[in-house]
Amino acid sequence: MTDIRTLGEFIVEKQNDFPHASGELSSLLGSIKLAAKIVNREINKAGLADITGSVGKENVQGEEQQKLDLYANDKFKAALEARDQVCGIASEEEDQAVSFNRQVNRDAKYVVLMDPLDGSSNIDVNVSVGTIFSIYRRISPVGSPATDADFLQPGHLQVAAGYVIYGSSTMLVYTTGNGVHGFTYDPSLGVFCLSHENMQIPEDGHIYSINEGNYIRFPLGIKKYLKYCQECVPQDNRPYTSRYIGSLVADFHRNLLKGGIYLYPSTATYPNGKLRLLYECNPMALLIEQAGGRATDGQQRILDLIPTELHQRVPFLVGSTNMVNKVEAFLHEGD
């Protein structure tokens, strides 16, 4: 009993490691923790309540919005607005960035970007979904409304990032730039308990995760890499195992624990890939680098990309260092 460490305790304990040490970030992560519990409760009864299915509208990126997309968006937004640390948010489900109106929010130092419900297509079939978040210090003056520039910062300037996975158990995994730590939710206590301290991804892996249905539309380097994964070379652990859930959070989480690579390259349908730089790729890239892995768009480190628009998409290759190096080599063949 005495060695249970809750997320709240852990954050306070680690707050002095944080470069801008203050209770503010602890309080901000507290808002995320609270919203995650509320969303978790709703997801757990998804089959019982009338909360699955679409709302009959599309988001600004042309995706059909699910009821739980909007529910999660509202809960995270409300939790972040209710405390005094965040001046605004940007979300996959909001057309534009939202600047909070209260003066206490305008006086706040941080902005949050989020994918409130990742893996929407998996809600109705009881498969793991998640929430992804990314936190920056604002660059506009404290006291004024948040501006677009606050949200369009390169990923290496994130002060914290993380995700919640609503899976066979619910976990919150985060980094403030000092390692990656995972907490498992104990529903009977209503607390997240430290279960995975200092997570590190194996340098080599043998799982590859990609929507192979798009094969015909992939760049040649990706096609060659997939064939490499499938070749029979037992001393090299090949053929690798293919695993694809279709929720980035769940695919990423498995690969983080076991070693592997997740790929969402450009395709003919999605020339810039499908995943969003600000809500999906940057936070996952910070986590993977903190865990000893790599994230690239095939040409550049994800965390170095300079965002130009809120809902920007980029090709995304993320995971074990040696696997990312290998796929890059195939992409650069013939350069």
CA distances from 272 to 140, 174, 297, 312 (A): 29, 27, 9, 8
Beta 207-209 vs 241-242: how paired, if at all? parallel
Main-chain phi, psi angles of 296, to 5 degrees: -145, 160
Residue 121 annotated as lining a ligand binding site: yes
CA distances from 165 to 113, 117, 125, 185, 240 (A): 17, 10, 16, 10, 25
Calculate ∠ Cα 224-229-233, nearest 5°.
Answer: 115
Pair of tokens at residue 225 = 């890499």
Interacting residues with ligand AHG (CB under 6 A): 63, 92, 115, 118-120, 211, 246-248, 274
In the bound state with ligand AHG, the residue whose beta carbon lies nearer, of 18 and 270, is: 270
Minimal distance, residue 163 CB to ligand AHG, in Å:
11
Pick out residues in 91-110 that bind Mn ion (CB under 5 A).
92
Residue 95 annotated as lining a ligand binding site: no
Query: Is residue 251 involved in binding Mn ion (CB under 5 A)?
Result: no
Pick out residues in 118-137 that bind Mn ion (CB under 5 A).
118, 120
> What helix, strand, coil percent values describe the chain, rounded to 5?
40, 25, 35
Minimal distance, residue 209 CB to ligand AHG, in Å:
8
Strand, helix or coil at 98? strand
Pair of tokens at residue 218 = 């992939």
In the bound state with ligand AHG, the residue whose beta carbon lies nearer, of 27 and 211, is: 211
Minimal distance, residue 316 CB to ligand AHG, in Å:
9
Minimal distance, residue 36 CB to Mn ion, in Å:
15
Minimal distance, residue 246 CB to ligand AHG, in Å:
5
> Measured at CB, which residue is nearest to ligand AHG?
211
Residue 277 annotated as lining a ligand binding site: no
Binding site for Mn ion (CB under 5 A): 63, 92, 115, 117-118, 120
Write out the binding residues for substrate: 118-121, 211, 244, 262-264, 274
